[in-house]
Structure 1
Amino acid sequence: MGIEEARRIIMEHFAGAARRFGLNELYGYIYGVLFLAKDPLSLGEVAEATGYSLSHVSTALKFMERVGLVVRLKKPGDRKVYYTVPKLLRDWRRATYYSSLLEDVRQTRMNLERALKELEGEDGEEAESIRKAIEFVMRKNALVERILAFLLEHDNEVVLERLLNCLESGGER
């Protein structure tokens, strides 16, 4: 029972992570199946392993490929498409967590810009107060956007190691 329980724990972990990131748990189950697989799996194999229909799994795999959670492969002489996943958890986090956060930050920026545009031509204490609040949030939002973009472009472990070294040295480089 140890191997099956270990598999169940891993599958539930990825399904839970998908839910926490605001994704359908199917993405987590698919990732778990592919994470545990020794070799790339076909669409049919993934559907069978997860218990979901071919159409649900196909739709999920297309999304997962688009955001970098799965890699699509072709084997020479085989017409089937196969899927595998990056084995590093940082790649899972990068594709789901950082990308989702960055999208939220970009949406925030766009909405704040729209709100600021609506205040054009408005005078008075209330308009100025709202304008200052928006500008304050926009500055903070811009910093977060830069940090997330940096994390997406660089190896997380290197970035985090440098950040920790900087923090532990009292902020000096």
Structure 2
Amino acid sequence: MGIEEAKKIIMETFANTARRLGQSELIGYIYGALFLSDRPLSLGEIAEITGYSLSHVSSAMKVLEGVGLVQRIKKPGDRKAYFVAMKNFGEWRSSAFYENILRDIEETRDNLLRALNEITEDTEEAQKIKEKIQMALKRNEVAKRLLLTIMKFRSEEEILETLERCLKKG
């Protein structure tokens, strides 16, 4: 198998992951192109690699930037924006990725509590909804605790080593 075939497999893998996550395959193709690149790429270069229009690439890039999977870079003396893929845990930690997830978790918690406070009826349906909200609040708290724990580590290796030590202890 040649390099080009290997690159195609990687790009398809990222595109399939994006689809499974409910996103456009373009998001996966863009991340794949940046992941494989040894240098920052412009929107035009990404459009050329993926075969999508500049406007589609630009829209998808906003999603990728928003979740912290890519970073925008400016080159001195060049008006174009260039992009690189965030490839490891340390880069994600330093981006807004985890802070955005944490903010979403906290917003979800606030909205669940607001919904819970709105239920003043004492009916069977109201009780069922309250129970569902309480369960969602418990899951939300677990998600927050997990995220805050992960954010304390400096690298993927440190997380894995800690998990392995915990599992060995039983």
- Which category of TM-score, normalised to the shorter sequence, fits these structures? 0.7 to 0.9
Cα–Cα, structure 1 residues 117 and 78, in superposed 2: closer, same or farther, change >3 Å?
A: same
Structure 1 24/150 Cα, relative in aligned 2: closer, same or farther at 3 Å?
Answer: farther
Q: Which runs of 5+ in 2 are unaligned?
A: none
1:14 maps to amino acid: F
1:15-52 deviations in Å (ceiling 9; x for gaps): 11111222211111001111111211111111011000
Distance in structure 2 (CA, Å) of the matches to 1:2 and 1:89: 29
Match in the other structure for 2:8: 8
How many residues align structurally?
A: 166
The residue type equivalent to 1:34 in the other structure is L
Alignment-derived partner of residue 144 in structure 2: 145
RMSD, matched Cα: 3.3
SS in 1 for 2:78: coil
Higher mean alpha-carbon deviation, 128-137 vs 154-163, is at 128-137
Contact kept? 2:89, 2:156, Cα under 8 Å: no
The farther-off stretch of 11-20 and 82-91 is: 82-91
Q: Which moved more, 1:126-135 or 1:19-28?
A: 126-135
Corresponding residue for residue 44 of structure 1 = 44
CA distance in 2 between counterparts of 1:166 and 1:68 reads 29
One-letter amino acid matched to 1:36: L
Q: Deviations over 1:32-75 (max 9, x none)?
A: 11111121111111101100000111111122122211111122
Deviations 1:82-134 (A, max 9, x none): 11112338868xx9x978976875575355324421333x4467755654554
Q: Structure 1-normalised TM-score?
A: 0.75
Tell me if structure 1 keeps the 8 A contact 2:67–2:100: no
Aligned identity (percent) is 54
Summarize deviations over 1:142-163 as a string: whole Å, max 9, x none. 1222213432564443223212
User: Higher mean Cα deviation, 155-164 or 99-108?
Assistant: 99-108
TM-score, with structure 2 as normaliser: 0.76
Matches within 5 A, 1:71-90: 71-88=71-88
2:38 partner amino acid: K
Q: Post-superposition shift, 1:164? A: 2.6
Partners of 1:100 and 1:21 in 2: how far apart? 17
Work out the CA distance in 1 between the residues paired with 2:39 and 2:107. 38
What letter matches 1:88 in structure 2?
N
